[in-house]
Structure 1
Amino acid sequence: MTQPTDTILSRRAQDASTAGSKNLMWDVLNNLWCPLTNPDGYVNVGVAENVLMHDQFLSFINTKLDLPAKYLTYNDGGSGSLRLKRALSQFLNRYLHPAIPLNPRHLIVTNGVSSAIEHVSWAFTDPGEGILLGKPYYGTFIPDMSLRPGATVISVNFGDCDPFSIEAVDRYEEALLAFQQTTNRKVKALMLCHPHNPLGRCYPRDVIIKMMHLCQKYNLHLISDEIYALSVWKNTVDDQLHPPVEFESALSIDLNGIIDPRLVHVLWGMSKDFGANGLRLGVIISQSNSDLHQALKGISLYSYASGVSDHLTSLLLEDSDFTDEYIRRNRDKLSESYTCAVQYIRGHNIEYAQGCNAAFFLWVNLGKKYCQLHPGGNIEDVSDKVMQVLLRKKVFLASGDLFGSEHPGWFRIVFSQPREYLNEALRRITDALALKD
């Protein structure tokens, strides 16, 4: 039988296949370094995972988990059990300090925050309509918002302007107007990552308020992805070019006179603050938009969190003594790991972005260091060149190219690893930069 020459996949499936084939991360995760069992594997400091508290988390799970039979059923439906929503409301009320206390009616549970991002993109935009996203950005925001929902992500350039400043809000407006004038399509939302991935900083309260005013002016939804909200720690080593800003949730702002509350939405999940990417549990918080809740109820079957995840998260968040101690120790460990990574980077005279006090990231200019070590070379794409030498040394970082970096040569190091592992990664990075063609 002759084979058809045309693909049997839809165009959107072809696009997804092409995007997936370029993702090196899955190859890395299937060949991870272990000094005893796989010494030739990759040292991975490119994926946003926090493994510093896995022992404590597993100890809780293995002593507490006793699954009732109802979690083998559909339970309370696709948007999460009532018990879980109560536990989430009580927990997030304690830590996010919302101006209006959360209750279960405000929450839609999903199987991870990626699903939550896709859902709000689908709900707020028709195909081709825009969502504003400042550079640099978490790279997977792009497919989350565009691959299946069909939204157009409008990346916002800041140039020499600090992206966390009041002045930066004007750049969002400029990008909005340019998009609408050139495409004749609407912009429907502004996406924040707060605390920020990859820069590890928090947006000041007055900046968030100005963004809310901008959203009110153009009737945009403000989506604040606060997945790193509790991973905020003390920075003891930087020179404070940008003094760290304490985290304040968008929920903590009294919206009266600022923005229609139907336009404000917050996302959170278990992946980062509790080091549980594999648990697949996220939540959309929308306190005043009943239409959104009704729309997402209809598609919640496609982002159904498992009964095991639902039950385990309920158990965890109901135990305030455990969660308080867990968060405190996690913050201390993140601060220590950041200090370790910065001291090493400084010791090798590598430029990095200062002012971090949140999340797991060190934003470093490896391209500049590579050029200093290899003067006179004709390097057309320094980011690509650095990635090549990193992979030769079997160390995986995320390139700034994937984050829409406005400047070449920047990379993201994930420092939330045990000390031995982090030291091995840092050593391989500097060894890679010294490699010659």
Structure 2
Amino acid sequence: MTTFDNPPSFEGIASEKWDLHKGKDILPMWVADMDYAAPPSVLDALARRIGRGVLGYTSVTPEYKQAVAGWMSRRHGWQAQPEWVRFCPGVVVSLSVIVRACTQPGDAVVIQPPVYPPFRSVVEDNGRELVLNPLLRGDDGRYEVNFAELEEQLAEERVKLLILCSPHNPVGRVWSREELLRLAELCARHGVLVASDEIHADLAYERFVPFASISEEAAALALLCTSPSKTFNIAGMNTSNMIIPNPQLRAAVTAELKRGALASLSALGHAAVLGAYNGGEEWLKEALAYIRGNQQYLAQELRRSAPEISASVPEGTYLLWLDCRGLGLAEPELHRFFLEKARIQLSPGSSFGEGGSGFMRLNAACSRATAEEAARRIAAAVQELRASR
């Protein structure tokens, strides 16, 4: 058995994912973290840091920035410079910082639903106008950008920023170089900046292209948000980074980080990032292969035993975006069906905004035994629903 077959205990560690329905027979397959122990390189780095006995104020060192830039070079072939890196405690915090630093109250910001719910809140909570550019879903379940509508929206003078989800959460698209080039050309033409949330970049199953790497034009308007948190299952370390090639944008973001007193990195966060980026690549390769197996297994089993639910294996992320409209359930009933009948906690698609109704998001970064039990529970619940009709 691999380490991924034998998850660690979540008892008594205040796990957000596992404690929601603590003591109940409900599989937690919702919040986006893995059921696996962090990589040995991370655990070893943390142990060494704790062993020093000093956990005081910690600087964002040149070594830290080099680890981030080096990972980008090795993993994605992009020569990001260490001086472009700015630390922030989380990607959602980074997006909020970017909105405040690069737009003014009353400016408009474009997002592309169905998309990670905080995209909406970082716009509205900062007093900016929200503009929706919903993705187009083809008959085969593949999502595309609605470029015709987007161009009209970007032409509006009040639109100053687009928040791109790349790879896209929850639909699992990894945008191609051609799509990103087209997006960059449109944004450059209309003077619109791009905050690219690339937190799932390392979880792409084919090559991932950082937005800022595609052209000088793209680099000039790009603010990349990245983190080792999803990649190496260390979200609790509260570490993320913005990579900003444009010096003017970098200065604006740096000033906003200072205003918010957001530049303080924890001692363990520093150690975890170095351990992850400098030693976690082999672990990641094994984790991705294991998760891919889970996704393929679940998609195949649902096609066989619960064809009312459609699941396409994504191009990236450890998620599955389940089309449950074939069950014929209204939104509140759909959530209750999975929670009460299948006894699985998923993320309701409606929380991801327009285009999410009738869908559910499943986290497949679990043991194979959990994936098999989830498939069994869903099949039994669907069979019971059929019989009731």
Shorter-chain TM-score: what band?
0.7 to 0.9
1:248 corresponding residue in structure 2: 209
Unaligned runs of 5+ in 1: 1-25, 234-244, 372-378
Equivalent residue letter for 1:156: N
AA of the residue aligned to 1:347: R
Is 1:48 the counterpart of 2:9? The answer is: no
- 1:65 match: secondary structure: helix
1:163/1:146 Cα in 2 relative to 1: closer, same or farther (>3 Å)? Answer: farther
Question: What TM-score comes out, normalization by structure 1 length?
Answer: 0.76
Provide the residue aligned with 1:87 in structure 2: 67
2 CA distance for matches of 1:72 and 1:314?
17
In the aligned structure 1, how far is the partner of 2:39 from the partner of 2:46? 10
- Counterpart AA for 2:133: V
Deviation at residue 66 of structure 1 after TM alignment: 4.0
Alpha-carbon deviation of 1:200? 1.3
**Other-structure match for 1:7:** none
> Structure 1 residues 338 and 52 mapped into 2: Cα distance closer, same or farther (>3 Å)?
farther
CA distance change for structure 1 residues 407 and 297 in 2, over 3 Å: closer, same or farther? closer
Matching residue of 2:123: 145
Q: Give the SS at the match of 2:310.
A: coil
1:201 shift after superposition = 1.8
Within the candidate set 367, 372, 380, 1:418 is matched to: 367
1:428 correspondence with 2:381 = no
Aligned to 2:255: 295
| Matched-pair identity in % | 19
CA contact (8 A) 1:113 1:282 kept: yes
CA 1:61–1:133: 2 relative to 1, 3 Å: same
> Are the counterparts in 1 of residues 225 and 241 from structure 2 also a CA contact under 8 Å?
yes
The aligned runs of 1:175-214 (5 Å cut-off) are: 175-177=153-155, 180=156, 186-214=158-186
Q: Could you say what secondary structure the match of 2:365 adopts?
A: coil
Q: 1:131 aligns with which of 86, 89, 109?
A: 109
Over residues 24-60 of structure 1, what are the superposed CA-to-partner deviations in whole Å (9 max), with x where a residue is unaligned? xx98753446xxxx3x243111111122453646653
Decide whether aligned partners of structure 1 residues 327 and 397 sit closer, same or farther in structure 2, where only a CA change above 3 A counts. Answer: same
CA–CA distance in structure 1, aligned partners of residues 235 and 194 of structure 2: 25
Distance in 1 of aligned mates of 2:187 and 2:154: 11
**2:316 aligned residue (358, 369, 392):** 358
Hey, what does 1:400 align to over in structure 2? 349
Q: Displacement of 1:407 after TM fit?
A: 5.8
2:197, 2:226 within 8 Å by CA — same for their partners in 1? yes
Cα distance in 1 between the residues matched to 2:55 and 2:66 = 16
Q: 1:126 to 1:30 in 2, by over 3 A?
A: same
Quote the offset at 1:329 in angstroms. Answer: 1.0
Residue type matched to 2:113 in 1?
K
Secondary structure of 1:116's partner?
helix
1:173 corresponds in structure 2 to: 151
Kindly provide the amino acid, as one letter, of the partner of residue 345 in structure 1.
L
Show CA shifts across 1:207-248 (max 9, x none).
101111111111111111111111123xxxxxxxxxxx6321
The AA in structure 1 aligned to 2:363 is: V
TM score, norm. by length of structure 2? 0.84
SS of the counterpart of 1:412? strand
SS in 2 for 1:301: coil
State the distance in 2 between where 1:304 and 1:45 align. 32
1:297–1:400 CA distance, 2 compared to 1 (3 A): closer
For residue 229 of structure 2, give the secondary structure of its aligned residue in structure 1. coil
CA drift at 1:326 = 1.6
The answer on 1:386 being equivalent to 2:334 is yes
Distance 1:266 1:85 in 2: 14
CA distance in 1, matches of 2:323, 2:237: 33
Unpaired stretches in structure 2, ≥5 consecutive residues: 1-14
The one-character-per-residue Cα deviations of 1:239-269 (angstroms, maximum 9, x if unpaired) are xxxxxx63211132132xx45x431111110
1:21 maps to none
Measured at CA, do residues 158 and 200 of structure 1 come closer, stay the same or move farther in structure 2, by a change above 3 Å? closer
Inter-partner Cα distance in structure 1 for 2:122 and 2:18: 21
| Contact kept? 1:28, 1:42, Cα under 8 Å | no
Q: Which has the larger radius of gyration?
A: 1
Query: Distance between the aligned counterparts of 1:68 and 1:224, measured in 2?
Result: 37
Give the match for residue 239 of structure 1: none
